[in-house]
Structure 1
């Protein structure tokens, strides 16, 4: 996610447009503090709604946890995890050795 200051908008409007065309939301700041967010208008947004599309994007980029993304999407944790899984988006991100340790604990 790209961040632009309110002062940058005149000079960097082309860059902001390119980010949107690429499907990337952007953050607009004033005096270093978040002011607003741009969200690209896509078919995915139309079909799923802004809350779900934004939650998915923020989760995929690692800006929020699964639980926080579920709240943004106004879904339960399980519903949002199932939604992401249907899109082939990983909801469990264990390093292989950690996953093996967890499976060994469960097997005992």
Structure 2
């Protein structure tokens, strides 16, 4: 799936048509947030793969939860985890601050032993 910004779309509107002719979906974003998605409807249109691509892409953009993405794709949560793992998309995301808190807690446990 191709991703382009609203600025890129303004400067090259024909890129969406070119993507569709190649059978590629495109996600248009504005300041990193999804605005809309195009889906080619030619021969071989596969609604299941489109739902999967959409769910994966939106999960990667931290839009739906894991459960929401799995439901959108029509997969179980474990199947969605496998799909994301195969695409090297992390399922668990932790901020640096959360990591510091976890490490500090782990140190207190280690100090007790």
Indicate the TM-score class for this superposition, using the shorter chain for normalisation.
0.5 to 0.7
Quote how far apart the aligned CAs of 1:80 are.
0.7
- 2:51 is the alignment partner of 1:60: no
Q: Distance in 2 between matches of 1:81 and 1:17?
A: 32
After TM superposition, the runs of 4+ consecutive aligned structure 1 residues lying more than 4 A away are 1-4, 18-23, 103-108
Q: Who is 1:8 aligned against?
A: none
Q: How far off its partner does 1:60 sit?
A: 1.5
For residue 82 of structure 1, report the CA deviation from its aligned partner. 2.2
TM-score, with structure 2 as normaliser:
0.52
Which has the greater radius of gyration? Answer: 2
- Asked if residue 25 in structure 1 is aligned to residue 27 in structure 2, the reply is yes
Root-mean-square deviation over aligned CA pairs: 3.8
Instruction: After TM superposition, list the pairs within 5 Å mapping 1:9-20 onto structure 2.
Output: 13-17=13-17
Superposed, 1:63-102 pairs within 5 Å as: 63-102=63-102
Where structure 1 has 5 or more consecutive residues not aligned to the other structure, the ranges are 5-11, 28-33
Aligned residue pairs, count: 90
Structure 2, unaligned stretches of length 5 or more? 7-11, 30-34
Contact 2:85 2:91 in 1 (8 A): yes
